[in-house]
Structure 1
C-alpha cells in the first residue's frame, strides 16, 4: 500500500535536471452568450459603481475583520461609509472588474492584466487568501442592485469570472513571491542596506 499521490508518478527526489514548472493558469471558458451576459449586467452596475465599491468593503470588513490588517488605511476609521479613502479604494477595485469585463473577449489580454495585478499585490503585501472574499461580497452587493435581472445564470457567470480573477492574480502573486524568495540572503542584505542608505 502506497500513498495516494504515488500513483501520480512524481519523482521522490528532484534530479539536478528537474525544473519546477510554472503554475498552470486556469481557463475562463465562457461562451459568447455568457460573455454578453457579463457585459450587459456590468452596464447596469456601472451606474452605481461608487455605491457598490463602498458596500463591498463595508461588508468585507464586517464579515472578515482581519482584512483590515491588509487594508491598513481603514484600520482605525470609525465610520467607513463616510470615508473618502474607502470610496476611492472601492472605485479602484471596481475598475479592475470593469477592465476585466472590457477584456472578456480577449482572454490573453485579460490574463496578462490580472497576472500583473497579482504581482503588484505581492508588493502591496495583500495575499491571495483575501481575493475570494472580495468576490463573495461583490456578488452580495450586486444582487439587490440588479433586482429582477439577477438570475441563476447571472450569478454563475459572475462567480466564474471572480474565480478566474482570483486564480490568475494568485499565480501572479506567487511568481513575484518566488522571485523574491530566490534571492540569496546576501542579495537581500545588500538591497536592505542600499534602501536605508537612500
Structure 2
C-alpha cells in the first residue's frame, strides 16, 4: 500500500500541526472519542473504575501521547518506505490488550466530523 501524492501531503501537513502540541492534541483526540462513544471508557483499564474527569487522568494523558507518537511514526514510515515496520512483540501486545478489552472492528470505525483545527 502506498500513499498518493495528495495523501502524502495531508500526512506531512497533519504531522506538522500535531507535533507542535502532541500532549494537548492527543488528549483532545481521546476526549472526543469518549464524547462520541461514552461506553468506550470501559475499554480503558485506567478509566473503567475512575470517577475522575478523563482529561484529568494522568494515565490517559500518557496513553494518548504514546498512541499519537506511534501513529505518527507509522505514518512517516509508510510515506518514506511504503510499509510500517513494528516489532512482532509490540503487535502481539497491542492485539492481546485490545482483545482483552473487548475491542471489535466497529470500534475502530468511529468517524470524526472535525478537522485538526477543531482539536485545538
Q: Deviations over 1:85-138 (max 9, x none)?
A: 111011011012211222022123x1x4398755322311243432333xx35x
- How much has 1:71 moved relative to structure 2? 0.5
Does structure 1 residue 120 correspond to structure 2 residue 93?
yes
Residue aligning to 1:98: 72
Aligned mates of 2:109, 2:33 — CA distance in 1 = 10
How many Å separate the matches in 1 of 2:90 and 2:114?
A: 23
Equivalent runs, 1:13-162 vs 2, <5 Å: 27=1, 29-75=2-48, 76-103=50-77, 104-108=79-83, 110=84, 112-113=85-86, 118-124=91-97, 125-126=100-101, 127-129=103-105, 130-133=107-110, 136-137=111-112, 140=114, 142-144=116-118
Deviations 1:15-62 (A, max 9, x none): xxxxxxxxxxxx3x4223431331132112211211111111112122
Question: Residues 14 and 116 of structure 2 are in contact (CA less than 8 Å); yes or no, is this contact kept in structure 1?
Answer: no
Runs of 4+ deviating beyond 3 Å: 114-119
RMSD over equivalenced CA pairs, Å:
2.7
Q: List runs of 5+ in structure 2 lacking aligned partners.
A: none
User: TM-score, with normalisation over the residues of structure 2?
Assistant: 0.74
Please give the alpha-carbon distance, in whole angstroms, between the structure 1 residues aligned to 2:27 and 2:81: 29
Work out which structure has the larger RCO, using CA pairs closer than 8 Å and 6 or more positions apart in sequence: 2
